[in-house]
Amino acid sequence: MAAKPPMVEFKNVSKIYPGGKVAVENINLRIERGEFVCFIGTSGGGKTTTLRMINSMLTPTSGDIFVDGKNIHDIDPIELRRSIGYVIQNIGLMPHMTIRDNITLVPKLLKWPKEKRDARAKELIKMVELPEDFLDRYPSELSGGQQQRIGVIRALAADQQIILMDEPFGALDPLTREALQRLVKRLQEEMGRTIIMVTHDMDEAIRLADRIVVMDLGHIVQNAAPDDVLTHPANEFVANLIGPDRLHQAKVNHLTAEEIMRPNPIKIHAQQTLGDALSEMHEYHVDSLMVVDDDNHLTGILDLKTLHNQQQQTQLIVDDMKHPVPVKIHESERLQMITEPLLERNWEYVPVVDEQERLNGIITRSALVDVIYDAVWGTTEDPRPSHKQDDAQQEAGEQ
């Protein structure tokens, strides 16, 4: 079976206004089904022009735009717009219509029967957690945030697969904006819709998008997942748009366990004796040992308390007395996965293993605190710990 075409595709598209003003120049872009894509950039960068060409509100000067595999030049503009949801900043609800009639405006134009329209309105208003009796109210009787919720579900009313959003949350207060962002992301994931949104808010783009398209002077300067944009900005313009605080935070958040860990933790072979373990602890001034097998696989932990309880049985084998490893971190895991066992559970360290469960190192509580401190205060160029404090702690028997 042939693969489905992208939901939206731009091929060599330009928009040039009379007088030679170039709004968009020769862009090529694919937006796949079910993606949440954010256009971002400074004013005049071409993002809103690009968005409005998708539903023929603006006509390209050259090039082709395809929606679900069909060239929009071959689709009646009114038919095209009715097939695509559209949400704008000022909401655009009809003040003389009830909420029910606003939600079902496009289904009515598509000649859906009244029973089907009413059922759809009830289904959608429930999705945005508003009471059903709101359907008989008028827009002026709702708050700004409630009206914007209606604007969102109106764009979904006719089962449109593509939703265009032009700065939909810009006029809302921060709490309402965050609540609506979560709502839109949830609806998009649950319903599998393709959402293409213009925003000036980088935090919003990072929070919502599967892919961020950064535009400047009518060109696409970066087209990548949020993590890639944050960690590898394409140029100085993108870096400035992200801002130094976000860049630093991203650098810290993307540190892996392998970058934070202290290598060569004190360990003992599973077949050695408790007497051997006691000697190791005494020599290195530690109160626990990592237990490994012949291939350096981490198989358990032996602590000083166990040795104390068996101090007359020094010939016992470590493998018989070890404890299970309560938690271990894989070397590729990122910072946010490491903080919970060390900080929230108040453990002193966690072992780090590779993909074959071989012991590679440990991350101590103090090393993690150093990294988090740097994330908050931004005191160093390189947020990776030096482990000097760890070494001092190990010497003091605090591992």
My answer on whether 244 and 312 are in the same domain is: no
My answer on whether 284 and 319 are in the same domain is: yes
My answer on whether 35 and 100 are in the same domain is: yes
Quick check: is 176 in a domain? yes
* Residue 388, pLDDT score: 46
Last residue of a domain, one of 253, 287, 322: 253
Measure the CA–CA gap between 376 and 112, rounded to whole angstroms.
55
Quick check: is 300 in a domain? yes
Quick check: is 26 in a domain? yes
Measure the CA–CA gap between 333 and 208, rounded to whole angstroms.
22
* Residue 386, pLDDT score: 57
* Residue 111, pLDDT score: 87
Which two structure tokens, joined as six digits, stand for 49?
């022009």
Measure the CA–CA gap between 139 and 143, rounded to whole angstroms.
8
Q: What is the dihedral of CA 184, 190, 192, 195, to 10 degrees?
A: 0
Quick check: is 2 in a domain? no
Q: CB atoms < 10 A from the CB of 40, how many?
A: 25
* Residue 3, pLDDT score: 77
pLDDT digits (tens, 9 = 90+) for 231-255: 889 999 999 988 887 776 776 666 7
Quick check: is 323 in a domain? yes
My answer on whether 239 and 270 are in the same domain is: no
* Residue 384, pLDDT score: 57
* Residue 375, pLDDT score: 56
My answer on whether 211 and 62 are in the same domain is: yes
My answer on whether 212 and 268 are in the same domain is: no
Residue of 349, 342, 341, 305 whose CA lies nearest to 323? 305
My answer on whether 332 and 289 are in the same domain is: yes
Distance in angstroms between the alpha carbons of the first and the last residue of the chain: 58
Residue of 107, 129, 137, 111 whose CA lies nearest to 119? 107
Last residue of a domain, one of 226, 253, 280: 253
My answer on whether 199 and 296 are in the same domain is: no
C-alpha gyration radius of the chain: 29
Quick check: is 366 in a domain? yes
* Residue 189, pLDDT score: 85
My answer on whether 223 and 350 are in the same domain is: no
Number of domains in the chain: 2
Question: Are residues 197 and 208 in contact, defined by beta-carbon separation less than 8 angstroms?
Answer: yes
185, burial (CB in 10 Å: exposed 0-12, middle 13-18, buried 19+): middle
Q: In the block, which residue shows the tokens 């938690």?
A: 327
298 lies in which domain range? 257-395
Last residue of a domain, one of 253, 273, 308: 253
Q: Are strands 359-364 and 349-353 parallel, antiparallel or unpaired?
A: antiparallel
My answer on whether 246 and 370 are in the same domain is: no
Non-local CB neighbours of 96 within 8 Å, separated by 6+ positions: 138
Quick check: is 3 in a domain? no
My answer on whether 66 and 175 are in the same domain is: yes
Quick check: is 267 in a domain? yes
CATH code of the domain covering residue 141 = 3.40.50.300
CATH code of the domain covering residue 372 = 3.10.580.10
Element containing residue 71 per DSSP (H, E): strand 70-71
pLDDT in tens, the chain (399 residues): 567 889 999 999 999 998 889 999 999 999 999 999 999 998 889 999 999 999 999 999 999 999 999 999 999 999 898 889 888 766 678 889 899 998 888 888 888 999 999 998 888 888 778 888 899 999 889 888 888 888 888 877 777 889 898 888 776 777 777 777 887 888 888 888 899 999 988 888 988 899 999 999 999 999 999 888 988 899 999 999 888 877 767 766 667 888 888 888 999 999 999 889 989 998 988 888 999 999 999 999 998 888 877 776 778 898 988 888 888 888 887 776 676 666 666 678 889 998 888 999 998 888 777 776 665 555 445 555 555 444 433 433 333
Measure the CA–CA gap between 364 and 270, rounded to whole angstroms.
23
My answer on whether 29 and 135 are in the same domain is: yes
Question: Are residues 152 and 128 in contact, defined by beta-carbon separation less than 8 angstroms?
Answer: yes
Distances (CA, A) of 228 to 7, 248, 296, 309: 23, 14, 34, 52
Measure the CA–CA gap between 158 and 94, rounded to whole angstroms.
17
Measure the CA–CA gap between 54 and 63, rounded to whole angstroms.
12
